[in-house]
Amino acid sequence: MITINGHQLTIEEVIKVARHNEIVKIDQSAYGQIEESRHWVDEITQAETPVYGINTGFGIFSDRKISKADAALLSRKLILSHAVGTGENLPIEVVRAAMLIRANTLAKGYSGVRPVIIETIIQMLNKHVTPLVPSQGSLGSSGDLAPLSHLALVFTNDEQDNDEDSGWALFDGEKISGKAAMHKAGIPRICLQEKEGLALNNGASFSAAIAAIAVYDAECLLTSAEIALAMSMDALLGVSTAYDQRIHAVRNHPGQVKVADKIRNLIKGSTLIDATGRVQDAYSLRCAPQVQGAAEDALTFIRDMISREINAATDNPLLFSPGIALSGGNFHGEPIGMVMDFLSIALTEVAGISERRIFRLTDGKLNEGLPPMLVDTPQDAGLNSGMMMPQYTAASLVLENQTLSSPDSIYSLPTSAEQEDHNANSMTAARHALQVTENTAHVIAIEVYCAARALDIRLRQYPEAKMGRGVSMAHQFIRSHIPYQAGDILWGPEIERTKKLVRTQELNKFVMGAIDVN
C-alpha cells in the first residue's frame, strides 16, 4: 500500500501505482493541514476580499470580481471551459501516475481543497476508474490545464449533472462516460466549491507523471545498455585497456567510473577480449564509458528534479498560515521541461553509440572476421540478408531521436492576452522524452540481439574461447528465451521479445544480480 502525505512520494511508488495497481491511501497525519487550508479558503470567501482564483476570474480576467453566490460555479466553469485537449489519448499508466501525483500535491495542504477531493481521486485509482485524457494541448504553464481538466470532468459535476459533460473513462475495460464509470464503481461525483477547480487543473502534474515514468525506464535502459556494450565488446574482440580503472579515476566523473567498473565485471574472465593484439578500438567501444557515463550523471540530476516535483505544491494561489493566499507561479513547468529535454539528449546519445556498435557487428570489414550482416556463414550471404534490416531500423530510430531531442523548453508562445507571456512547453518535452525512451529501448534490444548472434558465430570460430562472466550469463539468458536461427526468418517478433526482456528488467536482474554489480 502506498501512503501519501505530499512530502515522501517516490518515483518507484509512482510506477507501482501506475503500472501495478498498488493500493493508495492518505496518511492520517496529512488531514490537519488539508482541513486548515480549506478553512482559510472559507474565511477568504466570507470576507469577500478579492483573491485570485478564489473569487476572481482567471488569467486575463483576474481583475474581474466574482460574487460569493457564483464562487463555486466558477470552479465548475473552469473545468468545463479548459477541457479542450486533442490528439490520441494518453496511456493508462500516465493518467494513473498523474492522478497519484495530483492527489499527493493536494495532500500537501496548501491548495485549499476539501479532503473529499483527494479521497475521490484515490478511490478512482483503487477501483480502476481511469479518465481518458487527450495527449495534446498543454503548454505546461499554468500547469497542464487541459489534461487535468479532462481528468476532473469525470469525477466532478454540477446541478444539471449532464452525462455529456462528464468526459470519458475506462472501467472494466470499457470506454463509457465519466458519469457512468463513477456510478458503476460506486464512487460519488463531487460538486466543486471555491478554489477547488483551480487546485485541480493548475499544475504540471501530467508533465511530471510522464517524466517520472521516463526517468524510471531510462534508468533500466542504461543498465541494459551496459550489458549490450559488454556483449559487443566480447563479440568484437575488444581491447580492455580503455576500461582500466586508472583512466576513469583521473577524469573522476561518477557515471563514467560506474560504467567502466560494470563493464570490467561483465567481461571478467573473457578470452575473447584482447585476442587480436589491437592497441585500441573505435570510439563506440573505447569511449562508451564517457558517453554512457555522462548519461548516468545526467539521470542522477534529472531524478532529483522530478522527485522534488512530484512532492511539490504547484497550484496558484497557495494558502499559508494564518490564512494568507499568495499568488505565484509554482504551476510553471519549466523545471520539468528542461530536464526532459536533457533526458532526451542523454538517451539519444546512448542509442546513437549503441547503433554504431550494431553497425560494426554487421559490417564485414569492421567486425573482426564475422560474416557480413551476421549471416550464419559467409556462403549464406546474398540468399540471406541476416541483420541488415535490424541495423536499418536502429539507424532510423536514432535519427528520429535526434529530431525529438531538439529542446522543447526553449520554445514559447504567449497566451491569455499576454498575461501568460512565457510558457514552458513541458508537456511536449515530456512526451518527446517518453518516445525517445521507447526508441532507445528498441535500439538496445537490437544490439543485444545482434551481439548474442555474433557471439554464437564467434564461439564457432574459437571453440575453446570463453565469454566474460556477465556476458556469458546474458547470452545464456537470451538463448533460453530466443534460440539461435541460422537462416533468415521473420526477425521482428524475436527482436520485440528481446525488447520485452530489456523493458521488464528481466535481463538486467538475471545478469547484474548474479554477478553482484551495482
Q: Which long-range contacts (CB under 8 A, 24 or more apart) does 506-513 make?
A: 506/477, 507/224, 507/227, 507/448, 507/474, 507/477, 507/478, 508/220, 508/223, 508/224, 508/227, 510/473, 510/474, 510/477, 511/227, 511/266, 511/470, 511/473, 511/474, 511/477, 512/223, 512/227, 512/470
Catalytic, out of 31, 52, 110, 283: 52
Determine whether 52 is an active site residue. Answer: yes
Report how far apart, in Å, the C-alpha atoms of 474 and of each of 35, 174, 235, 361 are. Answer: 54, 40, 13, 17
Specify the amino acid at residue 52.
Y
Residue with cell 497519484: 100
Q: Closest Cα to residue 221, out of 397, 337, 351, 404?
A: 351
User: How far apart (Å, rounded) are the C-alpha atoms in residues 199 and 181?
Assistant: 23
**DSSP notation for 173-235:** TEEEEHHHHHHHHT---EE--TTHHHHHHSB-HHHHHHHHHHHHHHHHHHHHHHHHHHHHHHH
173 Cβ contact partners less than 8 Å away, ≥ 6 residues apart: none
Specify the amino acid at residue 142.
S
Length of the chain: 518
User: How far apart (Å, rounded) are the C-alpha atoms in residues 288 and 284?
Assistant: 6
**CB–CB of 337/207 below 8 Å?**
yes
Catalytic residue IDs:
52
